[in-house]
Amino acid sequence: MQRYAVILAAGKGTRMKSELPKVLHEAAFHPILHYVLDAAEAVSAERILTVVGHGADQVREVFEDRCEFVLQREQKGTGHAVMEAMPALTGAHGTVLILCGDTPLLRGETLDDFLGAHEREGAACSVMTARIDDPFGYGRIVRGQDGSLLRIVEQRDASPEEQTISEINSGVYCFDLDFLREAVTELRTDNDQGEFYLTDTVAICNEKGKKAMAWAVNDFEEVKGINDRKQLSEAGKILFRRKNDALMKEGVTVISPETSFVDPDAEIGYDTILEPFCTLRGKVKIGTGCTIGPRSELTNSSLGDGVRFWQSIAVEAVLGNDCNIGPFAYLRPQTQLADGVKVGDFVEVKNSTIGEGSKLPHLAYIGDSDVGSGVNIACGTITCNYDGFHKYRSTIGDHVFVGCNANLVSPVTIEDGAYIAAGSTVTKNVPADSLAVAREKQKNIQGWARNFRSRHQK
């Protein structure tokens, strides 16, 4: 059976108290709508339509590659939002899944089970429900004597007796598309809010003698919506917890899950250890047997196997196997380290490639450079790559040894096997296997210090 998904995301999200549309607020490093789209993609929906209204342009811009959009100019209720989406589905038949843009915790597997039950039962309308201790504010599920689903009543329209019902409407539904198309035309606004309620389609389904079904979700957590900043933070916590649980299942040691912030999209190999307070954001890929030291931050970066990454930061960097990083290293965009590279404390590397086994143990800046293999760059070395207007590239060959506190004024080429004397400011190319010395010759003045002191001490 063909499956479609419609995500309702036109609402304002008043309680967020924000300029940003609610579905663009982030939990676990992604806008909450990202997770709803993930779930819709997981059930192989043929097409995914998102109904947008408040902040429509902003939402479109972020998700234009992932779904189609329907504009609901005025928000006249959930039923109205679905009405607005119907023309886009003209001529389509099958099952349509209705989701809310603000429920990021719903899992693809759960949706798949729900869709399976709906299709197996031949229902025209199925509602995902949950039994909760404090149902205040939610629509309540009204069942008949035989347990069948009769209708849904909103909190503000419910009688005192109906308000005692603890089974709630999660806001997730499956419909037979042909039924839904017809049912939304029959919705009325005769309720406390004067809105078109999608929930009224349940009673319409029964009136038409078609099958309406309530499907209770096991874990209420999955259907928790985000209405305010507190719920946003709670959802983020749950998403991080789930990621850590999945990683541990796959053989990753997570020393302190409550302080490990790993992007749900990150990939980490077995026998890798995450020390406390790591932040792994965006497309992060880490191999097997790595140690990610405490307070490290990795953003859109990839690490090979056996890397030791200690209290450091990497942004858009690519590291080979067995690299040894930090503490306090800063790897900036377009950094590429081959296998076995060491980048030690207070070293910054930007837009540079570093060859196999090369070492930058401490206090250096390498920018816009191609560094060969087996190179040793000693303490205090700087590539002077910027003249205030342009950036220039330098090349450092294989097995070059750069002594302490050298300035390499770009563009400059240091050929294979050359030595740079400590303290040199190198402005000319250095031929292979030679020594460049570019500093004042030392002279010693006998007795100068003794005379100096005696002049000043009375």
Is residue 255 classed as helix, strand or coil in its secondary structure? Answer: coil
Q: Which is nearer to ligand UD1, 17 or 455 (CB)?
A: 17
Smallest separation, CB 314 to ligand UD1 (Å): 36
Active-site residue list = 362
The residues pairing with 365 across neighbouring beta strands, listed in sequence order, are: 348, 382
**Are the C-beta atoms of 213 and 121 separated by less than 8 Å?**
yes
Please select the residue that binds ligand UD1; options are 5, 11, 59, 307, rule is CB under 6 A: 11
Q: Omega before 411 cis (within 30°)?
A: yes
**Are the C-beta atoms of 223 and 106 separated by less than 8 Å?**
yes
**Are the C-beta atoms of 377 and 358 separated by less than 8 Å?**
yes
**Are the C-beta atoms of 224 and 100 separated by less than 8 Å?**
no
DSSP string, 293-345: -TT-EEES-EE-SS-EE-S-EEESEEE-TT-EE-SS-EE-TTEEE-TT-EEEE
Residues in the interface with ligand UD1 (CB under 6 A) total 27
Q: Does 138 help bind ligand UD1 (rule: CB under 6 A)?
A: yes
For ligand UD1, the binding residues in 220-279 under the rule CB under 6 A are 225
For ligand UD1, the binding residues in 61-90 under the rule CB under 6 A are 72, 75-78, 80-81
Q: Beta strands of 85-244 (E only): which ranges?
A: 95-100, 125-131, 140-143, 149-153, 167-176, 212-216
Q: Which is nearer to ligand UD1, 26 or 415 (CB)?
A: 26
Q: Does 179 help bind ligand UD1 (rule: CB under 6 A)?
A: no
Please select the residue that binds ligand UD1; options are 21, 101, 236, 403, rule is CB under 6 A: 101
Q: What is the DSSP letter of 391?
A: B
Q: Does 51 help bind ligand UD1 (rule: CB under 6 A)?
A: yes
Residue range at the interface with ligand UD1 (CB under 6 A); choices 6-14, 336-344, 387-395, 438-446: 6-14
Q: Which is nearer to ligand UD1, 51 or 174 (CB)?
A: 51
For ligand UD1, the binding residues in 329-358 under the rule CB under 6 A are none
Q: Does 10 help bind ligand UD1 (rule: CB under 6 A)?
A: yes
Is residue 181 classed as helix, strand or coil in its secondary structure? Answer: helix
Q: Which is nearer to ligand UD1, 129 or 385 (CB)?
A: 129
C-alpha closest to that of 29 among 282, 266, 267, 231:
282
Please select the residue that binds ligand UD1; options are 154, 167, 176, 322, rule is CB under 6 A: 154
Q: Which residues bind ligand UD1 (CB under 6 A)?
A: 8-11, 51, 72, 75-78, 80-81, 100-102, 138-139, 152, 154, 168-171, 197-199, 225
